Structure 1
Amino acid sequence: MTRGYLRRALVPLIVLALAFGPGLSGCGYKRYVQNSTYDYGTKQKSDPKMLGSRMYGTATANPYQHDNNWIEYSSILSANVSNINGVAGALVFLTDKNAYVGMTLDWTATGTKKTGGAGSREQDNTGSNEGVYNVDNGSPYWNNQRIAGPYNSYFTVNDHNQISSELKQTIAVQIRRIAPTVQEVHISANQEFVNHLVQYAQEAWAGRPLAPWHDSFNQLVKHQFEAGNEVPTPINVQKLQHAGGADGTIRPNPQH
């Protein structure tokens, strides 16, 4: 893990030390932590993270809610969500209707996943102790087209419904504060989803338009949030399959 991860992991311990200073009892500390963004699992009735209406997930009865007309990567929202306790990194995309968040977790906050303990984690990070990436075969190689993997990676959650409602609410409130016209906020830490999203982000980082990948993006979010049947072909594979025109713009297969 990086030094940044270790630094973030130490913050709750520092808060703990300060909290038991003069003027704050053990009960007061417990309540303080439960109300903070270091705890997404306690679900106290008066927890400020859950006050007000639900800000994430399906909010309309529109059957075409994920038929987005345009998409853009938001560096501002991505940075803001990445700074939320418990989130290792996030990619946020805005459309004419929604905000979509793909993220990885770092377990610096408790209760980020609704059920299951350390044994249910999808990543095996023991290879770092042996100086390898893949502890099963000893390989030191990492696919740089992926933001998360099964080895030596920040953490993912296969089913987005297993992410704490408190964490999702915290993220959605932050997004709506900056982008108040968003109709719905959809959040996932699914490994396949975030690895697809990083390729759309790479297009944006390189200054290339996302319009050619509009249909592919809609197919991806429908698969993740509407249980769609098909996952789009990754952008890097589409680029290998379908060459661009004379102007150098990559044009994906119309079927995607």
Structure 2
Amino acid sequence: MNTDNRIQIANQAAEKIAKVNGVRQANVLVTQRNAYVAAVVNTNQGKLTPELEGQIAKQVRATDPNIQNVYVSTNPEFVDRINTYVTDVGQGKPVAGFFEEFNTMVQRMFPTPR
């Protein structure tokens, strides 16, 4: 699990993912060698297929070859929290406390390392 408390917003990866057929919107957060993708998809009733997940992971790794694990979720709660974080950072708002919340959410959403 992530013990380094630096979280980066990967805008370039998000832009590439948004160009994937079936993806409407995405935000990506990177911690160490892990990428966490919050995606809104318009295929299969908004559910993530293994093929689409693979395409998303490929786009993330294309922007940063140091990424070892890519975790993708279309869960509305996860998407909303990540979108809020990205918006707050973009507006210069303080995000103190987000890291702890993020780690708790990630442990719940992705309980086993990939």
TM-score range normalised by the length of the shorter chain = 0.7 to 0.9
| Pairing 1:72–2:8 present | yes
| Pairing 1:178–2:63 present | yes
Tell me, yes or no, if the aligned pair for 1:92 and 1:102 is still in contact at 8 Å.
yes
Q: After the TM superposition, which residues 133-212 of structure 1 pair with which residues of structure 2 at under 5 Å, given as runs? A: 155=46, 157=47, 163-208=48-93, 210=95, 212=97
CA spacing shift, 1:104–1:222, aligned 2, 3 Å:
same
State the TM-score, normalizing by the size of structure 2: 0.86
Query: Partner of 2:31 in structure 1?
Result: 95
RMSD of Structure 2 on Structure 1 (CA): 1.9
Query: Partner of 1:230 in structure 2?
Result: none
Distance in 1 (alpha carbons) for counterparts of 2:55 and 2:32: 22
Letter in 2 for 1:85: N
Query: Partner of 1:221 in structure 2?
Result: 106
Secondary structure of the residue aligned to 2:92 is: coil
After superposition, give the CA deviation of every residue in 1:186-227 in whole Å (9 maximum; x if it has no partner): 001111110111111111211245454111111111111118
Letter in 2 for 1:181: N
Query: Partner of 1:147 in structure 2?
Result: none
| Higher RCO structure, 1 or 2 (CA under 8 Å, sep 6+) | 2
Deviation at 1:91, TM superposition (A): 0.8
CA spacing shift, 1:203–1:187, aligned 2, 3 Å:
same
Tell me, yes or no, if the aligned pair for 1:90 and 1:104 is still in contact at 8 Å.
yes
Query: Partner of 1:35 in structure 2?
Result: none
Secondary structure of the residue aligned to 2:100 is: helix
Unpaired stretches in structure 1, ≥5 consecutive residues: 1-64, 108-112, 114-120, 122-154, 158-162, 228-256
What's the % identity of the aligned pairs? Answer: 30
Secondary structure of the residue aligned to 1:214 is: helix
Tell me, yes or no, if the aligned pair for 1:70 and 1:211 is still in contact at 8 Å.
no
